[in-house]
Structure 1
């Protein structure tokens, strides 16, 4: 009798241990995904500030001092955002070395750019800003990969993560380049052939990325897909309005009569609409991961183990009858 009881105890203990290990592993993975979303929010803020600085600097270097007094405020924001990203990179043990190295590249490049900004030509400044922003985009992708967001087993979560990490940041960067390059053209009062080609390419690229994002979001099932439709509409309307302004008032006219502030404001509205959609996606994923963490503690989650335990008991208990 006692050997059988001992066996039952060992089996029960083993099952409980498996449950505890599974709970701990799944919670760790979900916590890492939520931390990854926090990292994405921070890096998105940094990307937006760098884009804003690029556009303002380009207009200043092209002879328009409209934004000259605002540059120090944007620079302070960038410094604070860079410092806020460090703990997130250090706290992610799996990606510590790679993300911290990327952060150092961004930090050092930014410091060099800020020090020598007004010694650069408009083209040099624009290129230097864009290289740093590209590094930030790489940092976002690394954070998402290391946190496991893009590898979620749920296809809908995977799709939302891909839009959040790759499509929308790239769309925002193309709008940001259009804002920055267009600001320089408006400040100079003319659109040279090279700038016209670049801006036409950006307008085409923005349209392409917007259509791609719309198509991806339509694949999402309800309720997540339905909740995101309002944000998608704002994103689409604001982005296309900016593209129309870029084509009609900057690229096509022989003489540019558009003022800098309205142009900058229109581009900023398009960027903010896309940021709002990013926030919606991040909130949706964060909530889903929080619900999954809550589900780990529910007893019915382990209901499939009950038949196995009962079957084991039916096999072992009758054996006690055979013992003396």
Structure 2
């Protein structure tokens, strides 16, 4: 009897502890349960990643010319760094709900590592060669492009299934961004070549490869009706890529030598890349419109813009 009486308070206490534990567990589960992503949020996050890519690409091209001896690019690099810092903050905020998922794109640790690598690149830029700067920039940009591709496949593609434009997600988050990166590397290498007024055999081969790759990717994207976007935007991008290819082949790689200035080449390449980013934005808008038609709902009240 004494054992039974003694056990009653213990059982009551144990029951209370178990109940409290279940309540705490339920609260934690609710806190960590990721909210569903809608198409507007997914495209908004993609736009921020694209903005980070775009500004890093510009900084890479500017730093190449600067390291090759054109000091005029210094202030413009500073402006890009401020934009990139702002985009890191905005993207971090957009990814808060992503980090609680089982397979986040990207993982929080990877995001912090990239931010630290970017700062290390900026801090040591003056001690690097133009070639080393291009390599290090390209590695960081490739990381963000991988995030964009994975995020698009995991978060955006399921939202547009059945709307007739699911195939466009790959071009929006992978193929057309790859065009900008091929052109971005060509801008960086070409800016260094133009600043030095000389093209090494290695730079020549690399420029020819990058221009050919950009042309091939543009042709593939143009043939896909799901990602064609508005005809005017698409056609302008195609025209700009063709003109940049002509300048590279005729004004940088001919026997006459380099006949274009670093400023003029950088401006032309940037205009071309901007045209491709406009095409990407049109594709993102088309995906949103198609998803809205397939699943009507109240229109979003805000929009995350692509980084400048």
Q: CA deviation at 1:123?
A: 1.1
2:235 to 233, 236, 240: 233
Deviation of residue 36 (structure 1)?
Answer: 1.4
- Residue 197 of structure 2 corresponds to 189
Pick from 112, 128, 136: which aligns with 1:128? 136
1:199 match: 207
Give the 3 Å change call, closer, same or farther, for CA 55–177 of structure 1 in structure 2. same
- What is the correspondence of 1:99-248 to structure 2 with a 5 Å cutoff? 99-149=107-157, 152-154=160-162, 156-216=164-224, 219-220=225-226, 228-248=230-250
* CA displacement at 1:177 relative to structure 2: 0.5
Partner of residue 315, structure 1? none
Q: Choose from 276, 288, 304 the match for 1:286.
A: 288
Question: Partner residue of 2:262?
Answer: 260
**Mind listing any 5+ residue stretches in structure 2 that lack a counterpart?**
1-34, 299-308
Aligned partners of 1:283, 1:77: CA distance in 2, in Å?
A: 23
Q: Show the counterpart of 1:79.
A: 85
Matches of 2:44 and 2:297, distance apart in 1: 22
**Partner deviation per Cα, 1:213-246 (whole Å, 9 max, x = no partner):** 1111xx33xxx85x62221101100111111111
Give 1:195 deviation, angstroms: 0.6
Whether contact under 8 Å (1:102, 1:139) holds in the other structure is no
1:97: how far off?
7.4
Contact 1:150 1:162 in 2 (8 A): no
Larger radius of gyration: 1
Match of 1:274 in 2: 276
Q: TM-score with structure 2 length normalisation?
A: 0.80
Aligned length: 262
Contact kept in structure 2, 1:144 and 1:150, CA below 8 Å: no
State the 1:64 CA deviation: 1.4
User: How much has 1:41 moved relative to structure 2?
Assistant: 0.4
RMSD (Å), alpha carbons? 2.0
Change (3 A) 1:254 1:191: farther
Distance, in Å, in 2 between the alignment partners of 1:228 and 1:214 is 11
| d(CA) in 2 for partners of 1:279, 1:41 | 8
- Structure 1 residue 293, shift from structure 2 partner: 3.7
Instruction: Give deviations 1:129-152, integer Å, cap 9, x for gaps.
Output: 000000010111122123142674
Q: What TM-score, normalized by structure 1, do the two folds share?
A: 0.76
Distance (Å, rounded) in 1 between the aligned partners of 2:164 and 2:105: 31
Superposed CA offset, 1:154-187 (max 9, x none): 3731121111011100000001011110000011
* Helix, strand or coil at the partner of 1:156: coil
Question: 1:98-117, CA deviations, whole angstroms, 9 ceiling, x for partnerless residues?
Answer: 43233123201101100000
Q: Structure 1 CA distance, aligned partners of 2:223 and 2:156?
A: 24
Tell me if structure 2 keeps the 8 A contact 1:189–1:256: yes
> Measured at CA, do residues 142 and 105 of structure 1 come closer, stay the same or move farther in structure 2, by a change above 3 Å?
farther
Residues 155, 212 of structure 1: alpha-carbon distance in 2 compared, 3 angstrom cutoff: farther
Distance 1:244 1:105 in 2: 39
Does 1:58 pair with 2:58? no
| Preserved contact between residue 235 and residue 270 of structure 1 (Cα < 8 Å) | yes
Normalized per residue, the structure richer in helix is 1
